[in-house]
């Protein structure tokens, strides 16, 4: 054993290993637990873990429809998972059509936005929402998210519901479809 005779070598090897692990988890892939109803039915509310590609920090390689892990702007140190529906320059609907009535009166008082209004996502920002709109706190509440708060793209989920390990992992697909693809019919 080469390390047994030299405690300094053991210490240096340990520090190198810790540094490598830190770089791998910060800039590679990481796994973390998730909870909450905001992304139903894509993700369960409990007992599910996410595999995050940290190479996609700050919005690199993120497309509309991808699920991202992000730093919640209204809670220091907390991370959330939401779906990107607008990137810089895209136009997005501020309120979903089913929820538009809730905001109509706010415009008259000068404090809200027009029901069904649209905005253009500013440069350096994205617009994120949860899949379960009534239970999601997202860009509809705190506005467009700075790309600097994106921590990575969620590429897989891990659920231990099955006894068979082959069913523990599943890829997280882009949840949005192009409208022309929906119109195209086989045959």
SS3 state at 31: strand
Closest CA relative to residue 129, chosen from 101, 90, 182:
90
Question: What's the pLDDT score for residue 163?
Answer: 73
CA distance linking residue 40 with residue 132, whole number of Å: 5
**Catalytic residue, candidates 16, 30, 82, 170:** 82
Query: What is the CATH class of 29-86+126-175?
Result: mainly beta
Q: 152 φ, ψ to 5°? A: 160, 175
Beta-strand relationship, 29-34 and 48-53: antiparallel
Closest CA relative to residue 168, chosen from 29, 51, 6:
51
* Segments in the chain below pLDDT 50: 100-114
pTM, two decimal places: 0.73
27: DSSP letter = H
The yes-or-no answer on residue 96 being catalytic is no
Tokens of 180: 């022309």
Tens digit of pLDDT for each residue in 111-161?
444 456 889 999 999 999 998 888 889 998 899 999 999 999 999 988 777
SS3 state at 56: helix
- Round the CA-based radius of gyration of the chain to a whole number and report it: 21
The yes-or-no answer on residue 171 being catalytic is no
CA distance linking residue 65 with residue 153, whole number of Å: 11
């Amino acid at each position: 054993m080469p390390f047994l005779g030299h405690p300094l070598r053991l210490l240096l090897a340990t520090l190198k290993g810790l540094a490598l692990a830190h770089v791998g988890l910060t800039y590679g892939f990481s796994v973390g637990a998730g909870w909450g109803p905001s992304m139903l039915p894509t993700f369960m509310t409990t007992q599910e873990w996410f595999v995050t590609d940290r190479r996609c920090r700050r919005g690199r390689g993120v497309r509309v429809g991808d699920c991202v892990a992000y730093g919640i702007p209204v809670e220091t140190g907390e991370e959330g998972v939401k779906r990107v529906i607008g990137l810089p320059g895209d136009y997005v609907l501020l309120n979903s059509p089913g929820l538009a009535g809730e905001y109509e009166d706010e415009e008259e008082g000068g404090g809200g936005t027009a029901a069904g209004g649209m905005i253009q996502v500013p440069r350096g920002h994205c617009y994120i929402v949860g899949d379960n709109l009534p239970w999601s706190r997202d860009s509809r509440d705190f506005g467009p998210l700075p790309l600097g708060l994106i921590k990575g793209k969620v590429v897989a989920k891990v659920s231990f519901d099955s006894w068979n390990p082959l069913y523990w992992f599943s890829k997280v697909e882009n949840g949005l479809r192009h409208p022309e693809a929906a119109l195209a019919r086989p045959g």
